[in-house]
Amino acid sequence: MKAIRRGLSSGLVQAFLVLIGLVWLTPLAGLFMSSLRTSEDSASSGWWTAFTSPGQLSFDNYAALLKNAGITQAFWNTVLISVPATTLVVVLAALAGYAFAWLDFPGREAVFLLVVALLVVPVQIGLLPVAKLFGELGLFGTIPGVVLFHVAYGLPFAVFLLRNYFAEMPKEMLEAARMDGGSEWRIFTRLVLPVGRPAIASLAIFQFLWVWNDMLVALLFADPSSQPLTVELQSQIRQFGSNIDVLAPGAFVSLVVPLVVFFAFQRHFVQGVMAGSVK
Amino acid sequence: MTATLVKETSPPGTGLVERARRSRRRARIVALLFVFPALLLLGALVVYPVLFSIGRSFFDASGTRFVGGDNYTEMFRDPATLKAIRNTAIWVVVAPALLTGLGLILAVLVEKVRWATAFKLLLFMPMAVSFLAAGIIFRLAYDEDPHKGVLNAAVVGVHDAFKGTSQYPTARARTGFGLAKEGDGSYRTDAGVQPGGSVSLGLVGVAPKDLPEGARPAYPAAQRKAAADEVRGVVYLDFTPGGGGVQGKVDRRESGLPEMRVEAVRDGRTVADATTAADGSFRFTGLEPGSYTVKLPASNFAQPYQGVSWLGPALVTPAIIGAYVWIWTGFAMVLIGAGLSTLPRDALEAARMDGANEWQIFRRITVPLLAPVLTVVFVTLLINVMKVFDLVYIIAPGDVQEDATVLATQMWLVSFGGGNNQGLGSALGVLLLLLVVPAMVFNVRRFRGSQR
């Protein structure tokens, strides 16, 4: 009797979770199916009708996307923004994180507490003043400007994460290396960076996704020639419906890269997002 | 002698101190070189802007006149910003609690199935998707037309499965041909009919191509005689294809209207009902003698159910919160799941041995032990929800943008999107900052605590 009840309840649990899983999958499936249909089809019927008439589906939209200069330019801009913004954050935060963890300088504790306080500062508060500053420096509307903004707002979390990770290293290890006469630079590159690899990987993935997926910062700081995919697509959203043959495949392309990163580096990804969620 | 001794011994001594001091100074310079690039960027692009914004929020739109706290009072007077504050409050109250609850339930349930990892992966996946892409995804899903938006297609499907669809939303009766329209949209015969009699109910307004498949001519049925205790009749389309025919009479080529609900009413009470056959015929049997009226209930003519206006002014905020839940549930579930795996197995086993049921274990043991993790998830989501921007900006269509607006989008609109009031914009930015100050203090305290 008890076994039957347990079997029944586990069946219910399974059914419930399958239902939830389907609900979660449907929006993504809808986007993908929509990206394979003509805008006429999308205007007259739902994407699920393609299950019964698969003749609607073709990769023509993607082929057209490849020829769409605005979209391809925006895709490269996204890469040109995301890669340097990630690299710079990792390098600068690793340097600073090591110093905060193991080097002695005046005001170390106080400055680090300030960094901790900056963790939750909303990006919004920086938009206006930095726009003015970049305007004076000639960085407004350029890729380096977008990159610098992302780096600055990525740093508090990055420094926090790496400082805490580096601080866990055994003291003896560093002292032994110093006794051997290694310079701080040598210790940093030969010892600290390799030991810190897991944290650095999580950080890099988190930062990459953050920048790749950003719209707000680029919306303000990028001009039409330097804008990433998110901004290019949002500028077309006003005519939503008529241009679904561009929006749907465009959105799908923009999310394929993060999804690949997600499935390739699941563990680091989850850890990075978990650690970075304080942002 | 002693002097020379001192003289001789002192150089190495001071040299050592000197060298130690010099190497310490060198170490400090190296350390500063390590932190300098990061601190420069933080100072110029984060700390300075915070101070600038605070200062700027006390000046007017153009930045020339000091207005004190006017921007802050304006914030609570201006209907648009007030709406933003209200919507942000809705987000803050609903989203974190909903997500933490959902995450907790799913984290507990997923432990009971073998494919837990796959499920977690699937639910976590939206975290990789940009808000822009998620916005486009949900603009598609929330489309109001049930033929295009998957959500309304589902809602309409469920609705019609329970309440049925009406076949003839456009059908109507010509006036003066025996059928009168009632206030509720139903039709009723003008004259009474006795058992043994029959009626022909002619309707128009149905295009021949909209007739249900299998509808047959009504003429043969209209000729049949009713028995003494029954009322017979046909409901037919009073329109002869190709012209000809007589209005108000069942002609040979006129079609019956199948699947029409018909009721026999006596003294205001429905005493019998029937559904028309393929040729539009119906009959009520076993009737007591008396005068009846025949009624076509309004449900025959109801407009088709069109689903819910998700992105209309009333529901737009809950709809966007729905999209947010899609993105963040996996996060809450995985984090809570990690906490769950650290729970002491013995405590749970002991409770089971004592005969506690699953609900009691969940309520009395799991939840209290998980409280710290739940707090972290809740607070994290709280901070995130306050800053939500992209989703609102993308999902809310242009004309309901002002109904959906939150602090972050309002700050954007006021400062850059046409409002061009950077004083008020800065004040909104500062308000956003003030809202996360408790989190800031919490972080600093926790960090200092962990260092002792």
* Tens-place pLDDT, residues B125-172: 998 898 999 999 999 899 888 888 888 888 888 888 777 667 788 888
Q: How many domains does chain B have?
A: 2
Q: How confident is the model at residue B5 (pLDDT cuts 50, 70, 90)?
A: very low
**Is residue B139 included in any domain, yes or no?**
yes
Report the percentage of chain B scoring pLDDT > 90.
33
User: Are the CB atoms for B280 and B235 separated by under 8 Å?
Assistant: yes
**Is residue B118 included in any domain, yes or no?**
yes
Q: How confident is the model at residue A229 (pLDDT cuts 50, 70, 90)?
A: very high
Same domain, B278 and B214: yes
CB contacts of A113 in chain B (<8 Å) are: 444, 447-448
Same domain, B266 and B372: no
Q: Do B49 and A21 touch (CB under 8 A)?
A: no
User: Are the CB atoms for B270 and B264 separated by under 8 Å?
Assistant: yes
**Is residue B50 included in any domain, yes or no?**
no
Q: Do A234 and B447 touch (CB under 8 A)?
A: no
H-helix segments, chain A: 2-35, 39-44, 60-67, 69-102, 108-118, 124-137, 143-167, 171-179, 184-187, 193-195, 197-213, 216-221, 229-235, 244-264, 266-276
Interface contact B408, partner A, CB < 8 A = yes
Task: Return the ∠ at Cα B115 (arms to B114 and B121), rounded to 5°.
Answer: 145
Same domain, B317 and B286: no
Q: Do A273 and B137 touch (CB under 8 A)?
A: no
Could you report how far apart the first and last alpha carbons of chain B are, in Å? 54
Residue finishing a domain among B301, B333, B359: B301
Distance from CA of B352 to the nearest CA of A (A): 14
Helix (H) or strand (E) holding B102: helix B79-110
A positions 205-264 inside 8 Å of B (CB):
209, 212-216, 220, 230, 233-234, 237-238, 240, 244, 247-248, 251-252, 254-255, 258-259, 261-262
Same domain, B433 and B380: yes
User: Are the CB atoms for B409 and B147 separated by under 8 Å?
Assistant: no
**Is residue B239 included in any domain, yes or no?**
yes
**Is residue B22 included in any domain, yes or no?**
no
Q: What pLDDT was estimated at residue A99?
A: 95
d(CA A272, CA B142) in angstroms, rounded, equals 31
Same domain, B360 and B388: yes
CB contacts of B132 in chain A (<8 Å) are: 213, 215, 230, 233-234, 251, 254
Residue finishing a domain among B301, B323, B353: B301
Same domain, B263 and B338: no
Higher pLDDT, A267 or A156: A156
Q: What is the ipTM of this complex?
A: 0.89
Distance from CA of B344 to the nearest CA of A (A): 23
User: Are the CB atoms for A183 and A146 separated by under 8 Å?
Assistant: no
Same domain, B197 and B283: yes
Same domain, B400 and B323: yes
Residue B354 in tokens: 């004592």
**Is residue B1 included in any domain, yes or no?**
no
Helix orientation angle between B422-451 and B407-415, rounded to the nearest 10 degrees: 140
Best residue of A32, A42, A277 to probe chain B, by most B CBs closer than 10 Å = A277
Interface contact B105, partner A, CB < 8 A = no
Distance from CA of A176 to the nearest CA of B (A): 17
Same domain, B93 and B217: no
Query: Which of A34-48, A107-121, B2-16 has the largest mean confidence?
Result: A107-121
Residue B386 structural domain:
70-154+310-451
- Polymer length of chain B: 452
Same domain, B141 and B199: no
On the question of pLDDT at B86 being above 90, the answer is: yes
Cβ contacts from A onto B, under 8 A: 271
Q: Do B147 and A31 touch (CB under 8 A)?
A: no
Residue A131 in tokens: 């726009």
Hey, is B269 helix, strand or coil? strand
Same domain, B239 and B271: yes
d(CA B204, CA B236) in angstroms, rounded, equals 9
Residue A129 in tokens: 């003043």
Same domain, B438 and B315: yes
Residue B218 in tokens: 């009504």
Q: How confident is the model at residue A242 (pLDDT cuts 50, 70, 90)?
A: low
d(CA A63, CA A71) in angstroms, rounded, equals 12
**Is residue B353 included in any domain, yes or no?**
yes
CATH code: domain of residue B103? 1.10.3720.10
d(CA B317, CA B401) in angstroms, rounded, equals 10
Q: Which residues pair with B284 in a beta bridge?
A: B231
For chain A, what is the mean pLDDT? 89
**Is residue B400 included in any domain, yes or no?**
yes
- Tell me the average pLDDT across B369-392: 90
Residue B425 in tokens: 């914009």
